[in-house]
Chains A and B, each alone.
Chain A
Amino acid sequence: MLLLNAIVQFLSEPAFILGLVALVGLMVLRKSVSEVVTGTLKTVLGFLIFTAGAGIIVNALIPFSTMFTAAFHLTGIVAEDNSLVAAVQISLGTVTASIMVCSFLINVFLARVTRYKYIFLTGHMMFSFAGTMAIVLDLMKISGWKAILIGSVIEGVSMVLFPALSQSSVRKVMNTDEANADTVAFGSVAKTDTVAFGSVAKTDTVAFGFWGSSWISLWGWVGGKFGNKSESTEDMKVPKSLGFLKDMAILMSIVMLVLYVVTTFFVKAADMAKISGGQNPYLFSVIQALTFTAGILVLLQGVRMFLAEIVPAFKGISEKIVPGAIPALDVPVFYGYAPIAVTIGFLATLFGSLLVIPFSRWLPVTVLPSVIGLFFMGGAVGVFGNARGGRRGAIIGGILFGITWTLMIAFAYPLINLSKYNISGLWFASPDAIIVAVVMRLVGKLFGV
């Protein structure tokens, strides 16, 4: 009984659940003893760093939320899943980590028995989706093994379903290179067919494993309706000085500085003095803005450490069980197909999301420019829009993505209230996960939960 109790307590620490997964994974992959020990320890440390980063982020956002409300009488949020999920780990950590692991097993099972061979390998996305499930189910008053079961099944199915939904768009993106091969072989019809057939099989070596895939594919497709594929973004000249846009830390620092400092300007001096504890308001804002970014960097370092052990284990295990597995990978794998479209798409998406802000008064919440989502998803919309409709496809797709993504967050916001977890100023960012969460909430309401 004492032993059982100890085991239960041990497993209620999410850091240890993930450590255990790394341990088993490394042993299955027949790593040396020293690699198993260091890998396991790094996983546990990574997880602890991850939650510490969330603490920094949440603390830097509390004064900002107060300032934003004082200045504009509105609630402002930044959409960022990793920080949000990290911030609930104290209460929902066990459920989150368990869902992540079990959903992987369900994904492997589905890939093994169905014709959809996708294996979702974007670790931080698996984790954030698991955390989203834990939060939504907790709000629906479902906890413990039931939450783990339901959450794992929904995530496991999503890990196959969403890559399957966007695969036709992925083929479009990757065909741009093969199109040249087609023209070369145009001489004989039969030859073209072989090339075309070969290229389809070739493109399916990879899938889209990222929780923005459906929304990116959709607006890439819509953008494509407005454009001309032959006028590619890649013939455009983008100034070299925009290179700094590739560095997330710098980009985020700039945006957060603007947000904090502009908000400070609109807060009454007396209110501001209370919030800053007497410190110069602008100095206070600058420090808080940069502290937010620093928190994101700490958090990402933690994620990096635990993913470095777990993802290779997942990959190794899935390759053993699923012959012909198609890895579903993180969004930047598509950037190489149209690097200029990435910058164009990001700027268009940023513009689209800013267009919504003046209308915040009529929306449930103000969605502030959320750099990580805008950059990674906007870049992808650029690439996907360009693949179907050239530069106009990338720009129109990007602007529409920015508008609709922002509106999606704003309208879904009242359905998932995070005040219970003492989180203010943060909300979900991933469209696929939001769609699933909203459906769950609405189905739940039908049954009165």
Chain B
Amino acid sequence: MKVITVCGMGLGTSLILLMEVQSIAAKHGFDVSGEATDLGSALGRKCDFFVASSEIASQLASKNALIVGIKNIIDKNEIENKIVPVMQAIADKRGE
């Protein structure tokens, strides 16, 4: 499955977030490829789910992908608690 992480410029925070998401995914046995990008470019991109800070997430809209907003982006537990069910749901839907 594919994740796109988003921040204001798509350089610093989103990349840190992406590394965190991928390491959590690996820990739980999900195969997640991903990309970090900025808010402007994220709109209209295709992926299984987006991860961003809550303020950025509120600006995102997508018909097909889930959007996960993280209140505190350096809180590993919050990220883990929020994205594991999402990844599980995506995996279940695909019958993986």
A57 within 8 A of B: no
Q: How many residues of A are in contact with the other chain, CB < 8 A?
A: 39
A104 to chain B, nearest CB (A): 15
Given A297-B40, A304-B36, A333-B16: A372 touches B9 (CB 8 Å cut-off): yes
Which residues on the B side are within 8 Å of A248 (C-beta)?
8-9, 38-40
Complex: A315 Cα to B12 Cα, angstroms: 13
Asked whether A308 lies within 8 Å of B55 as measured between CB atoms, the reply is no
Which residues on the A side are within 8 Å of B48 (C-beta)?
none
Q: Which one of B11, B18, B39, B40 has the highest number of Cβ atoms from chain A below 10 Å of its Cβ? A: B11
List CB contacts (< 8 Å) of B1-26 with chain A: 7-13, 15-16, 18-19
Asked whether A327 lies within 8 Å of B11 as measured between CB atoms, the reply is no
Which residues on the B side are within 8 Å of A372 (C-beta)?
9
A55 within 8 A of B: no
B72 within 8 A of A: yes
Which residues on the A side are within 8 Å of B7 (C-beta)?
330, 332
Given A336-B53, A336-B73, A376-B8: A249 touches B40 (CB 8 Å cut-off): yes
Given A246-B39, A246-B55, A246-B56: A300 touches B19 (CB 8 Å cut-off): no
Given A308-B36, A311-B15: A243 touches B58 (CB 8 Å cut-off): yes
A449 within 8 A of B: no
List CB contacts (< 8 Å) of A293-340 with chain B: 297, 300-301, 303-304, 307-308, 311-312, 315, 327, 329-333, 335-337, 339
A342 within 8 A of B: yes
Q: Is the interface of B mostly helix, strand, loop or mixed?
A: mixed
Given A248-B38, A249-B40, A304-B37: A315 touches B11 (CB 8 Å cut-off): no
Complex: A308 Cα to B18 Cα, angstroms: 9
Q: How many residues of B are in contact with the other chain, CB < 8 A?
A: 29
B71 within 8 A of A: yes
Which residues on the B side are within 8 Å of A123 (C-beta)?
11-12, 15
Q: Is the interface of A mostly helix, strand, loop or mixed?
A: helix
Q: Which one of B8, B54, B70, B74 has the highest number of Cβ atoms from chain A below 10 Å of its Cβ? A: B8
Complex: A447 Cα to B88 Cα, angstroms: 64
A124 within 8 A of B: yes
| Residues of A participating in the B interface, judged by any CB pair closer than 8 Å | 121-125, 177, 205-206, 210, 243, 246-250, 297, 300-301, 303-304, 307-308, 311-312, 315, 327, 329-333, 335-337, 339, 342, 372, 375-376
Closest CB pairs A-B (n = 5): A330-B12, A249-B40, A332-B13, A124-B11, A122-B12
Given A333-B13, A372-B9, 7 more pairs with CB closer than 8 A: A121-B16, A210-B12, A246-B59, A247-B39, A303-B11, A308-B15, A336-B53
